Amino acid sequence: MSEVKMVVNGRTITGNVEDRTLLVHFLRENLGMTGTHVGCDTSQCGACVVHLDGKAVKSCSILAVQASGSEVVTIEGLADGSDLHPVQAAFREHHGLQCGFCTPGMIMAATDMINRHPEGLDEKTVRAELEGNICRCTGYHNIVKAILAASEVMSKGAAKAA
Amino acid sequence: MGLEGIGARVVRKEDKRFITGAGRYVDDMVVPGMKHAAFVRSPHAHADIESIDVSAARAMPGVIGVLTGREIKADGIGNLICGWMIHSKDGTPMKMGAWSPMATDRVRFVGEAVAVVVAETKADARDAAEAVVVNYRERPAITDAVAALQDGAPQLHPEADNNLIYDWDIGDASAVEKAMASAAHVTTMHLVNNRLVPNAMEPRAALGHYDKAEDHYTCWTTSQNPHVARVVMSAFYNVAPENKLRVIAPDVGGGFGSKIFIYPEEIVCLWASKKTGVPVKWVADRTESFLTDAHGRDHVTEVKLAFDANNRMTAMKVETVANLGGYMSLFSSSVPTYLYATLLSGQYAIPAIHCNVKAVYTNTAPVDAYRGAGRPEATYVVERVVETAARELGVSPAELRRQNFITTFPHQTPVIMAYDAGDYAASLDAAMKAADHAGFPARKAEAASRGKLRGLGMSCYIEACGIAPSQAVGSLGAGVGLWESAEVRVNMAGTIEVLTGSHSHGQGHETTFAQLVSHRLGVPIDQVSIVHGDTDKVQMGMGTYGSRSGAVGMSAIVKALDKVEAKARKIAAHLLEADEADIVIENGELKVAGTDKALPWFQMALAAYAAHNLPAGMEPGLKEGAFYDPTNFTFPAGCYICEVEVDPETGTTEIVQFVAADDFGNIINPMIVEGQVHGGIAQGVGQALLEGCHYDPATGQLITASYMDYTMPRAGDLPSFVVSTTNTPCPGNPLGIKGCGEAGAIGSPPAVINAITDAIGNNDLTMPATPQKVWAAIRAATKH
């Protein structure tokens, strides 16, 4: 067993975990934060994407002990109180989800993607960058639409702030 | 339509919880004292079990119990069954081999459950499962259905000689033979419909909880039809009587058919909970899903289509071998028969059709309904052979189709179905216009100048949805009726709950069903809650599959709303001192037509429950239920046009345009309907280009058992789709709805393959059309 300490969605968390515990299982089982999903066990589907120190990672591919000392943001911590994050709002507005299972990982990956492309995104780039996230419901059409729309909103927001 | 009524593009009510991580799926459920299950599964495709030694596993840390097939059998838990009886053409019933929830003497596919470990943690359970020692004596395995029918093939079930489950036929064989003999042209094809794994993103899961004090079971499960799960587990598997078994299907992460069926794991979790005295949760990992979820398709077909000298279709003859896997899953028998052969007329007037289907056991996972279920297989046969015939006859594929379209309705096909409404030329025209069909030769020439092979393929599909009239399906062998139920409860202050037997696992019922209520009563959708997925809350239901929730589920709500409105009118008429016939319900008020007298909806509701001043003899309260049994199937139809560019150097196919023009009848929420079409097309394109479930023929090992090996469509594999709708309302149900859930997966595979074969000039190409296969087909074509 190992002790881990990390900041999850702004709250400092400590816990004892088996050495083999993955970050996703620590979040789901120890912290009861079940918004992060497990879809494939081979780091292919991206349902488990969270932000680790500001970068999108697949939480099924990192041990909880490796995340110790880091700052983690999950889907539960993305909104600002009751105000949805622009990516969450865009997924809703453009019907970028159906069953909702891949959605938390999609939204976390999309947020990271938009942050990495302050110059803006086009359809081809969005499709290429979604390689690590699988959705079986939407055919990606509306996910791509939602991410492009969110990217626009966020770049306008950034311009306003500057 | 109003802002939130029928036809409005309302954003989904359910999205809030999904986009904030607050969805509640089975794996998210925690019950006090809950422990975890891991299954011991067969590593062999075909073997006898000689012995099972659980002693080492029982001694492992955290282990609460290790249970085997013999114990579940000894406790009287029944075998899994197939609920649709098919008779062979000689009148004998289908040959159903025994399928125990955990194997007792013999295993018939890799991944079949043999024993279960219940332990403190999932990791403990998995560790201990590895310590269970099973001695197997291997038998030869067979994975190919055609080979399994040959003399000398390994035999799976003693009931089924030569592994033949049934040899069924439909239609008039002699009329077909006669027409073939006098035909001006006959197009003949050998077609393979590749085996697929459904791959809902949420793996299957079950949580069984036996409450000793109440002698009552609760099962949380990833189900598309919790009521069906309850009745089947109760009546056939003897888990518990229905009144002692509650089944809850909470948020479910996609189904596509694979979560219709009742699998061994939920039965075992319930039974093991009683055995061990703790709630037992099992969640599949992805490889378990690949190994044990019911697969889809897997047909091998010979088809002949006959034409007269004027290019009019005169007859079709189809012979299909369908692989049903190692055991018969719940609805497996109906998929290659009544859900398949009854659609072989397509959109065309074909005077004579005959189809023979042999269903076969093999040492592979059970095969059952997967998005479209039989109808994609039928459409692939019809639309590949029609396109090929046009090429052979030297006529335009579009015009050959148009010339043979059914144009008058109702239309009785030679294979049971009576099409009620449609306008196939309208969707063909809409698709050709959207695809700029006329501009294709110029685009092809331009692509050629870049060294690319450009091709165009179309597919005019029809399907039968709105499953289904109970009496009709009963006469065809179905074990249940396929109606739907609903209850509308008006609360004291006017808010409304709708209880439905339909189940939403991505379809957006919480929004569309509320839109219907809003349309009828004029109340905002926020004041309407949709309750589903819990057998303790909703009395009865048949669930969601076969694009039935709109056509059948919402029709039941309409019937219940009719009753609610009738009583509300009586109350309003009484309070407003008006004639009942003059009361109109709109914008949340009950008004007296032609006057300014009105009663707000909530006041009427309050009056119904206060009961201080009701019409004489009226019971207090406002709650009505209804069952709706459809009078016919519904017949969504449409035209898909796919345009591809193939790189002759690499065999890589790029879909440069995909156009869909669908006739779904009336539409409740266009945004949701478009989403269903997008997702269906993606699965169909996946079948055509990427997905193939592959068993090693020598060992029966599943080669494609993870996302490292089975190619799921990703965003970069697909284009944005151009979708539109035409509308001939369905005359058979009160809302005029046909259903939209499966069309994309049904219509798209032949459009893609027709496009690629058009581009490369070689019609000999099987799905999935991987770059390797396409490259080889190009090479073969240029050698000629």
Please answer yes or no on whether A18 and B712 come within 8 Å at the CB atom. Answer: no
User: pLDDT at position B783, please?
Assistant: 72
Q: With beta carbons under 8 A apart, name residues in chain B contacting A91.
A: 15, 19
Does B533 contact A at CB distance below 8 Å?
Answer: no
Indicate if B687 and B729 belong to the same structural domain.
yes
Please answer yes or no on whether B203 and A39 come within 8 Å at the CB atom. Answer: yes
Q: With beta carbons under 8 A apart, name residues in chain B contacting A41.
A: 285-287, 706
Token pair for B686? 């996946």
Indicate if B44 and B81 belong to the same structural domain.
yes
pLDDT band at A156 (very low <50, low <70, confident <90, very high): confident
In the predicted model, what is the mean pLDDT of residues B615-625?
98
DSSP designation for B715 = G
Residue B180 lies in a domain: no
Does B412 contact A at CB distance below 8 Å?
Answer: no
Please answer yes or no on whether A142 and B22 come within 8 Å at the CB atom. Answer: no
Of B505, B675, B712, the CB nearest to A95: B675
Of A75, A88, A136, the CB nearest to B201: A136
In the predicted model, what is the mean pLDDT of residues A133-137?
98
Does B469 contact A at CB distance below 8 Å?
Answer: no
Task: State the residue range of the domain holding B218.
Answer: 31-139+201-254+259-292
Q: With beta carbons under 8 A apart, name residues in chain B contacting A98.
A: 254, 506-508, 675, 679
Q: Are B486 and B498 in contact (CB under 8 A)?
A: yes
Token pair for B706? 């993870």
Contacts of B267 (CB under 8 A, 6+ apart): B72, B77, B80, B101, B233, B237, B239
Residue B170 lies in a domain: no
Q: Are B105 and B134 in contact (CB under 8 A)?
A: no
- Is pLDDT at B3 greater than 90 in this prediction? no
Indicate if B602 and B675 belong to the same structural domain.
no
In the predicted model, what is the mean pLDDT of residues A102-122?
97
Of B16, B671, B714, the CB nearest to A131: B714
Last-in-domain residue among B576, B603, B628: B628
Residue of A42, A61, A85, A99 to mutate for B, most B C-beta atoms under 10 A:
A99
What percentage of chain B reaches a pLDDT higher than 70? 100
Please answer yes or no on whether B716 and A74 come within 8 Å at the CB atom. Answer: no
Indicate if B70 and B213 belong to the same structural domain.
yes
Does B12 contact A at CB distance below 8 Å?
Answer: yes
Indicate if B463 and B510 belong to the same structural domain.
no
For residue B649, count other CB atoms closer than 10 A to its CB.
10
Please answer yes or no on whether B20 and A84 come within 8 Å at the CB atom. Answer: yes
Does B290 contact A at CB distance below 8 Å?
Answer: no
Residues B588, B578: Cα–Cα separation, whole Å: 18
The more confident residue out of B66 and B480 is B66
Structure confidence by residue, pLDDT tens digits, B87-105: 999 999 999 999 999 999 9
Backbone φ, ψ for residue B426 (5° rounding): -65, -45
Structure confidence by residue, pLDDT tens digits, B566-582: 999 999 999 999 999 99
User: pLDDT at position B782, please?
Assistant: 84
Tally of domains within chain B: 3
Please answer yes or no on whether B20 and A39 come within 8 Å at the CB atom. Answer: no
Of A32, A93, A100, the CB nearest to B23: A100
Of B201, B256, B683, the CB nearest to A47: B201
Q: Are B286 and B706 in contact (CB under 8 A)?
A: yes
> What residues 682-711 of chain B have any CB closer than 8 A to a CB of chain A?
682-683, 706-708
Indicate if B453 and B565 belong to the same structural domain.
no
Mode of pairing for the β-strands spanning B313-325 and B352-361: parallel
Q: Minimal Cα distance from B29: which residue of A? A: A34
Indicate if B507 and B368 belong to the same structural domain.
no
Indicate if B285 and B303 belong to the same structural domain.
no
CB pairs under 8 A between A and B: 179
Residue B229 lies in a domain: yes
Q: Are B417 and B342 in contact (CB under 8 A)?
A: yes
Structure confidence by residue, pLDDT tens digits, B121-138: 999 999 999 999 999 999
Does B581 contact A at CB distance below 8 Å?
Answer: no
Structure confidence by residue, pLDDT tens digits, B223-250: 999 999 999 999 999 999 999 999 999 9
pLDDT band at A162 (very low <50, low <70, confident <90, very high): low
Of B24, B201, B283, the CB nearest to A99: B201
Indicate if B435 and B308 belong to the same structural domain.
yes
Distances, alpha carbon B290 to alpha carbons A45, A115, B201, B366, B713, in Å: 14, 35, 12, 11, 16
Q: Are A63 and A122 in contact (CB under 8 A)?
A: no
Residue B82 lies in a domain: yes
In angstroms, how far is the first alpha carbon of chain B from the final one? 60
What percentage of chain B reaches a pLDDT higher than 90? 98
Residue B213 lies in a domain: yes
Last-in-domain residue among B606, B628, B650: B628
Strand segments (E) across B83-237:
106-107, 113-119, 133-138, 164-171, 185-193, 205-211, 216-221
CA atoms within 13 A on the CB side of B462: 27
CATH number at residue B132: 3.90.1170.50
Please answer yes or no on whether B674 and A95 come within 8 Å at the CB atom. Answer: yes
Does B30 contact A at CB distance below 8 Å?
Answer: yes
**A69 to chain B, closest Cα gap in Å:** 24
In the predicted model, what is the mean pLDDT of residues B600-613?
97
Average pLDDT value for chain B: 97
Residue B76 lies in a domain: yes
Of B19, B256, B671, the CB nearest to A84: B19
Q: Minimal Cα distance from B678: which residue of A? A: A139
Q: Are B160 and B361 in contact (CB under 8 A)?
A: yes
Residue B346 lies in a domain: yes
Q: Minimal Cα distance from A96: which residue of B? A: B675
User: pLDDT at position A143, please?
Assistant: 98
Structure-token match 């479910």, residue found: B252
Q: Minimal Cα distance from A50: which residue of B? A: B21
CA B236, B242, B248, B254 torsion: positive or negative?
positive
User: pLDDT at position A158, please?
Assistant: 77
Indicate if B559 and B623 belong to the same structural domain.
yes
**A97 to chain B, closest Cα gap in Å:** 8
Last-in-domain residue among B575, B607, B628: B628
Structure confidence by residue, pLDDT tens digits, A50-89: 999 999 999 999 999 999 999 999 999 999 999 999 999 9
User: pLDDT at position B784, please?
Assistant: 54
Residue B130 lies in a domain: yes
Structure confidence by residue, pLDDT tens digits, B263-304: 999 999 999 999 999 999 999 999 999 999 999 999 999 999
Indicate if B316 and B387 belong to the same structural domain.
yes
The alpha carbons of chain A give a radius of gyration, in whole angstroms, of 16
Indicate if B491 and B542 belong to the same structural domain.
yes
Question: Could you give all domains of chain A from N- to C-terminal order, each with its CATH number?
Answer: 2-77 (3.10.20.30), 86-161 (1.10.150.120)
Residues B658, B685: Cα–Cα separation, whole Å: 10
- Is pLDDT at A159 greater than 90 in this prediction? no
CATH number at residue B585: 3.30.365.10
Residue of A74, A83, A140, A144 to mutate for B, most B C-beta atoms under 10 A:
A140
pLDDT band at B600 (very low <50, low <70, confident <90, very high): very high
**A63 to chain B, closest Cα gap in Å:** 15
